[in-house]
């Protein structure tokens, strides 16, 4: 099948998926762009169909839709040189493992994507997004994860309920606040094996009711003139410390 018109129903659907969170939620679908992400999605068995530039080939046993180059550029969120995309079905994930990263209201797509990439690098078992976090399937988020969103379970949930449930199961809760906290380097081996780490919104930090439940606060020593670090940086440094094996 070769599609050359933007008015085609499939094309309209792809464009809408890349622009509307509501539509992604309703359809339970999302798009990924570029060979690297398409292959990652394939390994996870999440592909509904791949969207290829006409004359391209791809040796994967999935349905293929061929479109004109101009069409692919119109669909793409980043129309640089992607000549393959895939329509993917979202996968329901469950919280598992001992190292949980909780994100409370992260708004910037680049921050969320970068945090996911660092979380995989430093051994997080599950990421839990609060309900007001930016959409995981936002094309900018997906791009910034560099494919790593397929390497860790990511769940969207009510953080307060997750915290209550896992505190009962004996997981300590680490949070950050602006003014003080335990130096992350001083954490014991045991404190680094099983935990919830909660990081907060870019402007407001972790919300009060979560701070109230924290086992303790963590901090990163730095020069006084700097009020705070970018949240993706702060999260990554803490995960780096928590992930150390020695």
Residues 127-186 that bind a second copy (CB under 8 A): 144, 146, 148, 151, 185
Judged by CB under 8 A, which stretch of 4-12, 57-65, 73-81, 227-235 contacts a second copy? Answer: 227-235
Distance in Å, CB of 236 to a second copy, minimum: 5
Burial class (CB in 10 A: 0-12, 13-18, 19+), 153: middle
Helices (H), the chain: 9-19, 21-27, 35-43, 69-75, 109-121, 139-145, 159-168, 208-211, 231-242
- At residue 46, the 3 state secondary structure works out as coil
Sheet strands side by side (includes 47-53): 2-3, 64-67, 47-53, 84-89, 29-33
Q: Which strand (E) or helix (H) includes residue 198?
A: strand 195-200
Distance in Å, CB of 237 to a second copy, minimum: 5
- For the window 99-138, what string marks contact with a second copy as x by the rule CB under 8 A? -----------x---x--xx-xxxx---------------
- Taking the least distance from each CB to a second copy, the nearer of 211 and 229 is 229
Does residue number 223 form part of the binding site for a second copy (CB under 8 A)? yes
- Taking the least distance from each CB to a second copy, the nearer of 54 and 146 is 146
- Taking the least distance from each CB to a second copy, the nearer of 71 and 187 is 187
CA distance 168 to 122: 25
DSSP assignment letter at 152: S
- Taking the least distance from each CB to a second copy, the nearer of 84 and 112 is 112
Write out the residues near a second copy by the rule CB under 8 A. Answer: 110, 114, 117-118, 120-123, 144, 146, 148, 151, 185, 220-223, 225-227, 229-230, 232-233, 236-237, 240, 243-245
């Amino acid at each position: 099948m070769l599609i050359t018109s933007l008015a085609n129903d499939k094309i309209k659907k792809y464009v809408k998926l890349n622009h509307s969170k509501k539509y992604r939620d309703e359809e339970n679908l999302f798009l990924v762009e570029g060979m690297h992400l398409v292959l990652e999605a394939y390994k996870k068995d999440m592909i509904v169909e791949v969207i290829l530039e006409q004359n391209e080939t791809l040796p994967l046993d999935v349905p293929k839709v061929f479109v004109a180059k101009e069409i692919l550029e119109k669909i793409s969120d980043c129309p640089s040189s992607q000549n393959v995309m895939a329509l993917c079905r979202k996968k329901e994930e469950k919280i598992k493992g001992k190292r949980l990263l909780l994100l409370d209201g992260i708004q910037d797509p680049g921050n969320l994507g970068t945090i996911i990439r660092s979380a995989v690098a430093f051994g997080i078992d599950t990421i839990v997004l609060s309900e007001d976090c930016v959409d995981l399937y936002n094309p900018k988020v997906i791009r910034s994860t560099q494919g790593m969103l397929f390497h860790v379970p990511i769940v969207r949930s009510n953080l307060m309920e997750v915290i209550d449930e896992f505190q009962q199961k004996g997981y300590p809760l680490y949070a950050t606040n602006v003014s003080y906290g335990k130096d992350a380097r001083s954490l014991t081996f045991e404190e680094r094996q099983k935990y919830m780490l909660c990081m907060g919104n870019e402007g407001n930090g972790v919300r009060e009711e979560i701070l109230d439940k924290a086992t303790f606060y963590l901090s990163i020593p730095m020069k006084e003139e700097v009020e705070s670090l970018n949240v993706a940086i702060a999260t990554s440094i803490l995960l780096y410390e928590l992930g150390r094996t020695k």
